Amino acid sequence: MTVIGVIGAGVMGVGVAQNLAATGHDVVLVDKDERTLADALATIRHNTRMSRLMGGPALDPDEVLSRITTAVGAAGAAKADLVIENVTENWDVKREVYETLDAECGPGTVFVVNTSAIPITKVGAVTGRPDRVIGVHFMNPVPAKPVVELIPGFHTSQETIERTEALLSAMGKKAVRVKDSSGFVSNRVLMLTVNEAAYLVHEGVADAASVDEVFRGCFGHPMGPLETADLIGVDTILYSVEVLYEHYADSKYRPCPLLKQMTDAGLHGRKSGRGFYTYDSN
C-alpha cells in the first residue's frame, strides 16, 4: 500500500492521519478548505509533540508531518489505495463524499468508513463497490487507543477485510469484529449513557462534576461520561444519538434537549473551549 487517503480533518481525521504517518504511511489529508487543513497540521504538530507525555511513543513532529500532504475536496484522494473517511456523522454529508470518492478513485480502492453509528451496508449501497466498503470505528484520541471495532457490511469481501486488518495491525491496532448494526457495540451503550448523564444535569439531579465523579470513584472509569462527551464533542454526541434514534425508531434514544441547546450555543466541548466544563484555550 502506498498512499492512504484520509477524508475529513476534524478530531478523528487528524488522529487517524497522525497515527498513519507515525507508523510510516504516506497520507493525503483531505477537507473542504485550506484553513481547516492548516489547523489540522498545526494540531498534528502539537499532538506529536505531546505524544510521549500522553503515554505514547516519542515522536519527531517534522518527520511525522513530512509524510502528510493535504488536498481540498474528496477528489484529492483519487490516487489513494485505501481511503479512511471521517466526515461528520450526517448521512447527507457522508453520501455526497462517497459519491465523489466512488467516481474519482480507482476500482480497487477500499473505502473505510470511520463511523460510530451509520450502518456500513447503507454506505456501501451508494457506491458501485459495496464489496470494498468496510467500517472501522476508531476511538478518540486515535493514536492512544489500541482497539477498534471492525465492521464488515453485508457485501464486504474477505479480501477487503484482510487488507483492512493488515493496515490496522500496521497502525498498532487490534480489531474487534462486530456485525453491522447502527451504533455497533460501543455506541449503543456509550451514547445512551452520555445522553442519560446529560439528562441528569438537565433535570438538576446532579452537576456534571458530580456525575463524572460517581463514574470515576464508584466504577473506576478513567473518565466520567460528561468529560468523555467534551472529549468526543457535544455536537458529535448529539448527532450520534440522533442517528440511533432515527435508525431504530425507538424512543429510548431520544436526544436530551440540553445536548441540542449546547450544540446550538457552540458549547461543543474541548475543541471549542467549553462544553460541560471550561478549558483553557491554546
Compute the least distance from the CB of residue 53 to other proteins, in Å: 5
Instruction: Tell me how far apart the alpha carbons of residues 46 and 59 are, in angstroms, rounded to a whole number.
Output: 11
The 2-41 site mask, x for binding other proteins (CB under 8 A), equals: ----------------------------------------
Query: Measured from the CB of residue 161, what is the shortest distance to other proteins in angstroms?
Result: 33
**Cβ nearer to other proteins, comparing 196 with 213:** 213
Residues 179-238 that bind other proteins (CB under 8 A): 209, 213, 216-217, 222-223, 231
Residue 187 catalytic? yes
Q: How far is CA 216 from CA 136, 195, 222, 233, 240, in A?
A: 28, 17, 6, 20, 24
From the candidates 19, 47, 187, 240, give the one annotated as an active-site residue: 187
Rank residues 50 and 265 by Cβ distance to other proteins and give the closer one: 50
The yes or no reply on residue 95 touching other proteins (CB under 8 A) is no
Query: 269: number of CA atoms within 13 Å, CB side?
Result: 16
Give the active site residue among 47, 51, 116, 182. Answer: 116
Nearer to other proteins among residue 48 and residue 116 (C-beta): 48
Catalytic option among 25, 51, 114, 137: 137
Rg (CA), the chain: 18
Sign of torsion, CA 54 32 78 179? Answer: positive
Decide whether 55 or 106 has the Cβ nearer to other proteins: 55
Taking CB under 8 A as the binding criterion, the range among 32-40, 49-57, 112-120, 236-244 that sits at the site for other proteins is 49-57
Residues 51-90 that bind other proteins (CB under 8 A): 52-55, 58, 60-61
Q: Distances in Å between the alpha carbon of 197 and those of 128, 224, 268, 269, 278?
A: 41, 9, 16, 15, 18
**Least distance CB 215 / other proteins (angstroms):** 11
CA angle 144, 47, 174 (to 5 degrees): 20
149 is catalytic: yes
Is 52 or 177 the residue whose CB approaches other proteins more closely?
Answer: 52
Closest alpha carbon to 268 in 241, 240, 242, 231: 231
Q: List the one residue out of 154, 175, 153 whose CA is nearest residue 164.
A: 175
- Helical (H) or strand (E) element with 28: strand 26-31
Beta-carbon contacts of residue 76 (< 8 Å; ≥ 6 apart): 5, 28, 30, 70
Residues that bind other proteins (CB under 8 A): 49-50, 52-55, 58, 60-61, 144, 209, 213, 216-217, 222-223, 231, 270, 279-280, 282
Catalytic positions, written as ranges: 116, 137, 149, 187
